Structures are given as C-alpha cells and as structure tokens.
C-alpha cells in the first residue's frame, strides 16, 4: 500500500505558501487528504503540530511517517519523490532554467515585504483593499512588475516552454496587484488570468483536494 499523503493548510485558505504546496500536489496528480489549521485559534502552536512540523508553520506535508514544513522544501520533496515522467514535473528540465525558477521562488519569499503587507492575499481571495499603496509598497510593486516583464516576453503565458511551479508563485504575487485593481501592464494581467485558470489553482479556490 502506498504511503498516505496529508497536507496541512490554513483554515481560511489564504496562505500563499499553502496554496503553492497544494498546487504542487495537484499538478503531480497525487491523491491527498487536506487538514486545516486554525491560525487565529493558535492550533499551529499546539504541541502535536509543533512536534510534527518542528517550526509550527503552515503548510506542512505528511507522507507516511515523514513530516515536512516550508513550502519550498515540500515542493522540492515532491519533485524528488514523484519524478517525471510518471508524475508531471514541477520544474523545467534544463539546469539553468531550473535554477532561474528557484531564483524567482526564493526572491518572492524574501523580498517585496511592503507589497505583501499592503496587499495581503485576502485582496485576492476575499475583498480588495481600499488603501492606496505607500511609497514602499509602490516601489515593491514597480520592482515586481519590472522583474516579471523582463522574464516574460510580450504575451507569454509561462516563464519557460511549459508551466512550472514558479509560474503559480509569480502569478499569485502579481495577482496581489491585479485583483486589487492596482495598475499592471495588460500583458502581465493576461499572464495572471491564464495562470489563474489552471485547474490546480481553481481547485484551491473551490477548496477541493
Ligand atoms: N517560509 C514559509 C512561510 C510559511 C508561513 O509563514 N506560514 C504562515 C501562514 S501564511 C504561518 O504558518 N503563520 C503562523 C506563524 O508564523 O506562527 C513557507 O514557505 O512555507
């Protein structure tokens, strides 16, 4: 019998990191159970969850008797343990393209703090924010748009020849602006809309594992 897979996510379905791990599982065509963690009720601080994840963070993956937190570690683990061609790849084939995808992933997690604070993912999944961006928020938005436009040619719907997980991550980050009605060039809006229509992303929005 195959080891069971469980993904722990936030109960409000607004964690971008949880969404990226969920999309990775879906794109790999893996069956998994979803368990929700109520962050407001501090369920992630309960001893059992902290013991399981080491860090008490959401998302966390359980595969058999192995548990892992951190979305990037989860994504890399799935790619290692469920490789192509049996399971669709999460990364491009070439070493340089894989490296570029990982650069984008690491950058999205470590930079653009003002944008992440002023345009939380609730602007995508719940309702827009009426507040204009601060100077720091605008600077972060401009940097994101500049990097995305440099990577994506006019009318590109993927970063590379085929979809990869960095596309979902970049699209979600751009969607912090698009969904809120902040100015974004039309070609990037089209990229976001195309990425958002992927069945794996739609499944997250419909909350179905
Ligand atoms: N670097 C982590 C970030 C995970 C993270 O910050 N998750 C938030 C929810 S969006 C969380 O667990 N917050 C509870 C806490 O930090 O105590 C990842 O990529 O998985």
Q: Whose CA is closest to atom 17 on ligand 1?
A: 57
| Separation of CA 58 and ligand 1 centre (Å) | 5
Instruction: Give yes or no for a contact between 24 and 78, defined as CB atoms under 8 angstroms apart.
Output: yes
Summarised one tens digit per residue, pLDDT across range 170-185 is 999 999 999 999 999 9
Q: Whose CA is closest to atom 6 on ligand 1?
A: 57
Residue 13, ligand 1, Cβ within 6 A: no
| Separation of CA 53 and ligand 1 centre (Å) | 11
pLDDT of 2 reads: 82
Quote the CA–CA distance of 78 and 81 in Å, as a whole number. Answer: 5
For the CA of 59, the nearest atom of ligand 1: 20
What residues does CATH 1.20.1050.10 cover in the chain?
A: 95-198
Residue 28, ligand 1, Cβ within 6 A: no
CATH number (3.30.70.1070, 1.20.1050.10, 3.40.50.300, 3.30.70.270) of 95-198 reads 1.20.1050.10
| Separation of CA 92 and ligand 1 centre (Å) | 26
What does residue 208 show for φ and ψ, rounded to 5 degrees?
A: -120, 130
Distances, alpha carbon 68 to alpha carbons 54, 59, 75, 151, in Å: 8, 9, 10, 31
Burial of 190 (0-12, 13-18, 19+ CB in 10 A): middle
Quote the distance between the C-alpha of residue 56 and its chain's center. 19
In total, the chain counts a number of residues equal to 209
Residue 178: both structure tokens together: 């698009």
Quote the CA–CA distance of 167 and 196 in Å, as a whole number. Answer: 10
For the CA of 39, the nearest atom of ligand 1: 14
| DSSP letter assigned to residue 61 | E
Q: Cβ atoms within 10 A of the Cβ of 193, count?
A: 13
Residue 39, ligand 1, Cβ within 6 A: yes
Quote the distance between the C-alpha of residue 141 and its chain's center. 18
What residues does CATH 3.40.30.10 cover in the chain?
A: 5-89
CB neighbours of 50 closer than 8 A, spacing ≥ 6? 44, 56
Summarised one tens digit per residue, pLDDT across range 108-161 is 999 999 999 999 999 999 999 999 999 999 999 999 999 999 999 888 999 999
Residue 2: both structure tokens together: 């195959």
| DSSP letter assigned to residue 2 | P
Summarised one tens digit per residue, pLDDT across range 4-40 is 999 999 999 999 999 999 999 999 999 999 999 999 9
Residue 79, ligand 1, Cβ within 6 A: no
Residues 89-115 have a mean pLDDT of: 98
Q: Tell me: domain 5-89, CATH 3.40.50.720, correct?
A: no
What does residue 88 show for φ and ψ, rounded to 5 degrees?
A: -55, 140
């Amino acid at each position: 019998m195959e080891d069971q897979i469980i993904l722990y996510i936030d109960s409000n379905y607004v964690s971008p990191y949880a969404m990226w791990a969920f999309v990775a599982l879906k794109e790999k065509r893996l069956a998994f159970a979803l368990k929700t963690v109520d962050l407001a009720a501090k369920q992630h601080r309960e001893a059992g969850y902290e013991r399981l994840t080491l860090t008490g963070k959401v998302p966390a993956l359980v595969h058999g008797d192995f548990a892992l937190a951190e979305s990037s570690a989860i994504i890399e683990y799935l790619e290692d343990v469920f490789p192509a061609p049996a399971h669709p790849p999460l990364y491009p084939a070439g070493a340089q393209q894989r490296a570029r995808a990982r650069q984008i992933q690491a950058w999205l997690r470590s930079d653009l703090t003002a944008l992440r604070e002023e345009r939380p993912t609730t602007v995508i999944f719940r309702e827009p924010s009426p507040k204009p961006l601060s100077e720091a928020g605008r600077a972060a938005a401009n940097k994101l748009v500049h990097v995305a436009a440099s990577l994506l040619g006019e009318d590109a719907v993927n970063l590379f020849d085929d979809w990869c997980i960095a596309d979902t991550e970049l699209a979600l980050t751009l969607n912090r602006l698009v969904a809120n009605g902040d100015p974004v060039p039309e070609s990037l809006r089209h990229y976001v809309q195309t990425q958002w229509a992927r069945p794996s992303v739609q499944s997250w929005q419909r909350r179905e594992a």
